[in-house]
């Protein structure tokens, strides 16, 4: 029994047709097509049904449905492969991407119904409060060291060592200590000028406010 084959080729070749016995292997159909169509090349081509690739020794009868004498095949060129290695590189890149992907579960809830983000914030707050004394102590130490450095720069004896140390008042080589000494400012002319300037500014502000805000009598007259 013969089966008619409809071979869908690629441009510029049209759809080819040929009749072959059912026991013909699929790899033997291509030489038969070349014998019928001499212009059709055979190198680098292969035949396959539309369902996909099949074994080269599969017969035409095994590819046909029962009681059918028509089979559609597809003629395709073979694609030359490269040197390889791209697939492994792609898999390695995918593995790196998946390892770098972080999972954010903050919106999830635990068995008690609390969000994980709330639990994390509570833990951070507890750790912060637990380390609060250490931070305060470090801050106090830094302020104390800064104050001692400033006292040394100004020539002030620290209070801790002032009770136990005694210096002779006749020591003239020690520079005079200016820190802690009260000074009276006796420039009366400057004080008077400063007072006059302040009074002038206050008067100007009061005059500007009185001009910008209308009096109650004028408002009454306008409304009437």
- List the pLDDT tens digit at each of the 224 positions of the chain: 788 888 888 778 888 888 888 888 888 888 888 888 888 877 888 888 877 778 877 888 788 877 778 888 888 888 776 666 777 788 888 777 766 666 777 888 888 888 888 888 988 888 888 888 888 889 888 888 888 888 887 777 655 544 444 444 444 455 555 555 555 556 677 777 778 888 877 777 777 666 655 554 555 555 54
Q: What is the pLDDT of residue 16?
A: 83
Instruction: Tell me, letter by letter, the H, E, C secondary structure of 20-61.
Output: EECCCEHHHHHHHHHHHCCCCCCCCEEEEECCCCCCCCCEHH
Return the HEC string of 54-111: CCCCCEHHHHCCCCCCEEEEEEEECCCCCCCCHHHHHHHHHHHHHHHCCCCCCCCECC
pLDDT computed for residue 165 by the predictor: 45
pLDDT for 161 = 45
According to DSSP, residue 224 is labeled: -
For residue 58, count CB atoms less than 10 angstroms from its CB and return exposed for 0-12, middle for 13-18, buried for 19 or more. middle
219 by DSSP, 3-state: which?
Answer: helix
CA distance 150 to 144: 10
At residue 198, the pLDDT reads 80
- Residue 175: predicted pLDDT: 54
Is 0.85 topped by the overall pTM?
no
Give the Cα separation of 69 and 61 in Å (integer).
9
Give the pLDDT of residue 166.
46
pLDDT of residue 53: 79
- For the purposes of burial, counting CB atoms within 10 Å of the CB of 156, is it exposed (0-12), middle (13-18) or buried (19 or more)? middle
Radius of gyration in angstroms for the set of CA atoms belonging to the chain, rounded to a whole number: 51
The pLDDT assigned to 163 comes to: 44
Architecture of domain 2-77: Roll (3.10)
Residues in the chain: 224
CATH 3.10.20.90 occupies which residues in the chain? 2-77
| Burial class of residue 8 in the structure, from the number of CB atoms within 10 Å of its CB (0-12 exposed, 13-18 middle, 19+ buried) | middle
Q: What confidence score (pLDDT) does residue 169 get?
A: 47
Q: ∠ at Cα 144 (141, 136), nearest 5°?
A: 35
**Is omega for the bond preceding 12 within 30 degrees of 0, making it cis?**
yes
Residue 70's contacts (CB-CB under 8 Å, 6 or more residues apart) are 3, 4, 6, 64
């Amino acid at each position: 029994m013969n089966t008619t084959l409809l071979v869908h080729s690629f441009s510029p070749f049209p759809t080819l047709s040929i009749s072959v016995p059912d026991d013909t292997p699929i790899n033997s159909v291509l030489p038969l097509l070349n014998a019928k169509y001499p212009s059709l090349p055979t190198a680098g081509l292969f035949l396959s049904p539309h369902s996909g690739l099949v074994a080269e020794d599969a017969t035409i009868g095994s590819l046909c449905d029962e009681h059918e004498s028509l089979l559609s095949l597809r003629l395709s060129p073979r694609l030359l492969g490269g040197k390889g290695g791209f697939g492994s590189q792609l898999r390695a890149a995918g593995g790196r991407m998946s390892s770098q992907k972080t999972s954010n579960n903050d919106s999830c809830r635990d068995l008690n119904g609390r969000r994980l983000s709330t639990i994390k914030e509570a833990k951070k707050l507890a750790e912060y409060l637990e380390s609060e004394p250490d931070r305060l102590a470090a801050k106090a130490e830094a302020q104390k060291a800064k104050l001692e450095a400033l006292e040394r720069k100004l020539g002030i004896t620290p209070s801790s060592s002032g009770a136990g140390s005694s210096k002779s008042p006749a020591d003239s080589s020690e520079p005079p200590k200016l820190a802690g000494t009260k000074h009276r400012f006796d420039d009366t002319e400057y004080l008077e000028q400063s007072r006059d300037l302040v009074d002038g500014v206050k008067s100007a502000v009061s005059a500007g406010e009185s001009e910008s805000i209308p009096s109650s009598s004028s408002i009454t007259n306008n409304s009437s």
